[in-house]
Structure 1
Amino acid sequence: MVVLRAGPVTVGGVTLDNHLLLAAGVLGTTGASLSRMLARGAGGVVTKSIGPLPKDGHAGPCVTLLDNGVLNAMGLPNPSREFTGELSALGNKPVIVSIFGANPGEFAEVAGWFKGMAAGVELNLSCPHAEGYGAAIGVDPDLVEKCTRAVSALGMPTWVKLTPNVTDITAIGKAAERGGASAIVAINTVKAMRISTGLRRPVLGNRYGGLSGEAIFPVAVRCVYELYEACKIPIIGCGGISTADNVIEMMMAGARAVEIGSAVQRDIGVFESIKNDLYAKKGVETEEIVGCAHG
């Protein structure tokens, strides 16, 4: 397997300690949990998604574990602006705040709360189970461009997380690029569901949810590959990554860094494990492998 040279990496206007980030929605609920993941080897962390108003989320059950993934429908529960207090102890650490809103104005409002407090923001335009938010906006290139522009105008590093639940993800990526995005994050969860044959009803309280984990890794690789050929801004790969070889494969598809989520649920030490396999003193530079599968 190809190994990388260790050291900081700058992606989308944010300098990370390494190529590995904690994905949004996993242990990103408090400053303490974010600090814990940084201490356990994450090169950067993305918080839970924060919106313009406090939100309780969907009624349970909200999560079910599958053999090769996780199905969830949390419904974007969050404390809204009160979350700013969780960042005070993190100092200048590479913390990206995931944000959501129903329109460009709400995105700009929430992003403004974190200006000067976080390294950047990640626009959640891709959650598949929150009515009026996330993918409800992220499937429309015009809205994606407007929401991205409203936030990028604040002068903050602006990452845009895309949904795979579209016919052409490159159209959405190009819209984010036109809106001034600093980077694209691909992908969020795949819309899915399971039914309990014993109960004769969907296993999730919301019926539909988002599938993450190893099952969606090939989908994420394909999306990153397509976006690399269509867009010029950096891409952060996300979806089913659990090994160092997965990281290399995602980078060969075109990613400059990766986010890891569901794998943390199975192994809290996954960042340390991947780092041990991913880096070596005589490893190659990032530029040598990013996008090398294209040709």
Structure 2
Amino acid sequence: MSFLDLETQINGLDFENPVMLAAGILGTTGSSLKNVSNHGAGGLVTKTITKPPKKGHNGPVLLEANSSYLNAMGLPNPGASEFIEELKDLKDIKKPIIASVSGEKIEELKEVVSLLNDYVDGFEVNLSCPNVEGGIICKESSLVESYIIGARKETNKPIWAKLSPDIEEIDKKAKVAEKSGANAIVAINTVEGMEIDIKSGRPILSNKKGGISGEAINPIALKCVYDIYKAVEIPVIGVGGVYNWENAIKLIMAGSSAIQIGSGISKGLNIFEEVKKGIIEFLKKEGFNSIDEIKGISHRY
């Protein structure tokens, strides 16, 4: 790897750079995923896909609050069978495509993985959406284990486990995921929160509670990645509050092999190129030859 080459390999997949699209943003159609690819993302993670189509919650589902975003979308998606047509539209993209997948039951998740297996390079199992019925999908180690084992039965491709910052002992849950067959850990998803209208006293979101994203959660992501990196031997992919190259560098120093950008796209799709450029310039200035030389460097102190 040279100063001008950020090529990264994770689970045998070659990413031309370690800056990926996160699940949930611009990941529902082939055309939107192509657009993100054309703006420099090294890999693409789709919107979370379920077996049946999901309409999502009624509005309001998104608002800005305290310099962050609060959403309760409810996992709207076209359903696995319909989404295959969007994936077929990506056959000419020479970048890894990771399907974010979920299911209210383990059998449903297994069906989704089976349906999409021939069209993607790997799977990100969403164990952590805070704004669907029932709240966070997997708070207990037993559920983490069951979902990952279920997904593994349906594919030999890489499986990434996406964990929530709101679960207890996230490092131990990550270890459970690893032992159950996960090839990487993605940390974090949004942080549970809510907003209230002081004139009426009513929660603003129709779902009452939702997930907070934005640059404000970057320190939370750092802490979770830091803890997980010490606990597992598989790669950690950092996500949460990446709005600039400094946020990305911090996540790599905490232990991330790659990073994902979600709400940061609100600054424009050029953020992928800006973050890549910032990483390269930082490496040059500080005398490093690759991101591998700074990955987990914070653990030396």
TM-score range, shorter chain: over 0.9
Residues 4 and 278 in structure 1, CA contact (< 8 A), matched pair in contact too: no
- Determine the structure 2 residue equivalent to 1:110: 112
Instruction: Give the SS at the match of 1:96.
Output: strand
Q: Tell me whether 13-22 or 77-86 shows the greater mean CA deviation.
A: 13-22
1:39-78 equivalent positions in 2, closer than 5 A: 39-78=38-77
Deviations 1:182-236 (CA, angstroms, capped at 9, x unpaired): 1000000000001111332111111100001111110000000000111111000
Residues 7 and 17 in structure 2, CA contact (< 8 A), matched pair in contact too: yes
Deviations 1:25-69 (CA, angstroms, capped at 9, x unpaired): 101110000000010011111111100111111111000013421
Q: Is 1:167 aligned to 2:168, yes or no?
A: yes
How far the C-alpha of 1:116 sits from its partner, in A, is 2.2
- Determine the structure 2 residue equivalent to 1:192: 193
- Determine the structure 1 residue equivalent to 2:280: 279
1:140-179 equivalent positions in 2, closer than 5 A: 140-153=140-153, 154-179=155-180
* Number of residue pairs aligned between Structure 1 and Structure 2: 291
1:1-295 equivalent positions in 2, closer than 5 A: 5-80=4-79, 81-91=81-91, 92-132=94-134, 135-136=136-137, 138-153=138-153, 154-279=155-280, 284-295=289-300
Distance 1:111 1:90 in 2: 18
Which contiguous aligned blocks of 4+ residues in structure 1 show a shift greater than 4 angstroms?
A: 280-283
Q: Which runs of 5+ in 2 are unaligned?
A: none
Instruction: Give the SS at the match of 1:202.
Output: coil
Amino acid corresponding to residue 55 of structure 2 in structure 1:
D
Q: Tell me whether 141-150 or 25-34 shows the greater mean CA deviation.
A: 141-150
Distance 2:152 2:145 in 1: 10
Per the alignment, do residues 65 and 13 of structure 1 end up closer, same or farther by CA in structure 2, a change over 3 Å counting? farther
Instruction: Give the SS at the match of 1:116.
Output: helix
Instruction: Give the SS at the match of 1:201.
Output: coil
How far the C-alpha of 1:5 sits from its partner, in A, is 4.8
Length-normalised TM-score, structure 1: 0.94
Instruction: Give the SS at the match of 2:46.
Output: strand
Length-normalised TM-score, structure 2: 0.92
Question: Relative contact order (alpha carbons < 8 A, sep ≥ 6): 1 or 2 greater?
Answer: 1
How far the C-alpha of 1:4 sits from its partner, in A, is 5.7
Instruction: Give the SS at the match of 2:278.
Output: helix
Distance 1:27 1:293 in 2: 32
Residues 4 and 286 in structure 1, CA contact (< 8 A), matched pair in contact too: no
Instruction: Give the SS at the match of 2:124.
Output: strand
Distance 1:5 1:181 in 2: 31
Amino acid corresponding to residue 88 of structure 2 in structure 1:
S
Deviations 1:236-282 (CA, angstroms, capped at 9, x unpaired): 00000111111111011000000110010232211111122222595
How far the C-alpha of 1:150 sits from its partner, in A, is 1.7
Q: Which runs of 5+ in 1 are unaligned?
A: none
Distance 1:284 1:240 in 2: 26
Distance 1:5 1:286 in 2: 11
Distance 2:125 2:51 in 1: 13
Distance 1:188 1:4 in 2: 31
Residues 11 and 234 in structure 1, CA contact (< 8 A), matched pair in contact too: yes
